[in-house]
Amino acid sequence: MNEVEPKIKIENISGRAFLAFPDQTEMLLTEMIERLHIVSKPTHIYGDLLYFADIDTTSPLPYWAKTTMLAPKIIHFNSIKDAASVLRSFQRSWAPYNYHLFRRANFIQEKLPHIHLNARPFPMKIPSSPIGLYTLIDENTMLVSEKTSSVFPAGHIIFEEDHENPPSRAYLKLMEALTVSALNNGPMPKEGDFCFEAGASPGGWTWLLTKRGASVFAVDRAELAPSLMKNPLVKFTSHDAFTLKPSEIGKCDWVFSDVICYPARLYNWICKWLESGLAKNMICTIKMQGKTDWSLIEKFAALPNSRIVHLNYNKHELTWIYTS
């Protein structure tokens, strides 16, 4: 009698798999070498997904990974129905990372409980349930992990865009940063809040903050878009924002910076605000200038009540978030 091949075979495997941001695989690999001191090469590469079988799972996670598979498994299956069934047996919510076999992956996703993979309105509430990640290695094999490092599907979030009113697309970056900040019931700018924005021109962040009903003291060498210069919620001053002392600004519910400057200058400016005690919350973009100084980035990360993230709307930069 011929043995019947099992419909599903599950292999627990060691290590972790890191999903790089699009076109930033080299940034991820460089960070792993220079910051995390991981010199081994990926065991397998699946598109932008890098699997390392031999890695210290207690080491910090890289910023340049959209999400990390924290407990990877290999699943062998015979049919699309079986693939969806085994994923549902682990947990409810799953997101795909597709780099090939797109049609087959879509058929599997259709048999799973619905999750939102399209553009979303802002603000939005992030579901508290865990979300797994899977990718097809071949037609009958998946790399999966029910535990991941991101609450976003495949570490990814996009927002519905306003193509008419904002003076720049930079507001999308702030939308994502505020969404991350609001996780675990964190704060969100609201009506009546007072915000200080350094380097505000042309006003993408200021536009979003006024949409939330907050008032903004915007400082830059160049003026904001005309509509914002007329907005009663906006006070503008032409100045080098980093030379203004916190005591000259006063108490702020939020302090923001998307200024193009050397990270060391931004760090010193942030420290002055934290020492002053005048800022309840801060969001600042760390613009990389040439080779990344990881020792300085770790100083940002060590500041109390703060975290560093790489956003989907970031490019060659990181975002530092502080909530009191």
Token reading at 246:
């916190």
Active site residues: 287
Q: Report CA torsion sign: 223, 225, 228, 229.
A: positive
The beta-strand segments (E) located in the chain are: 8-12, 16-20, 44-46, 49-52, 65-69, 73-77, 93-96, 131-138, 141-145, 194-198, 215-220, 234-238, 252-257, 279-287, 306-309, 317-323
Task: Read off the tokens for 221.
Answer: 């060498």
- How many residues in the chain? 324
Within a 10 A sphere around the Cβ of 89, how many other Cβ atoms? 10
202 in Cβ contact with 238 (< 8 Å): no
What are the distances in angstroms from CA 182 to CA 116, 201, 303?
19, 25, 19
List residues bridging with 74 in a β-sheet: 11, 143
The answer to whether 205 and 174 are in contact (CB under 8 A) is yes
Name the β-bridge partners of 267.
none
| CA pair distance 250, 229, nearest whole angstrom | 21
For 250, residues 6+ apart whose C-beta sits below 8 A from its C-beta are 194, 278
How far apart, in whole angstroms, are the C-alpha atoms of residue 174 and residue 214? 14
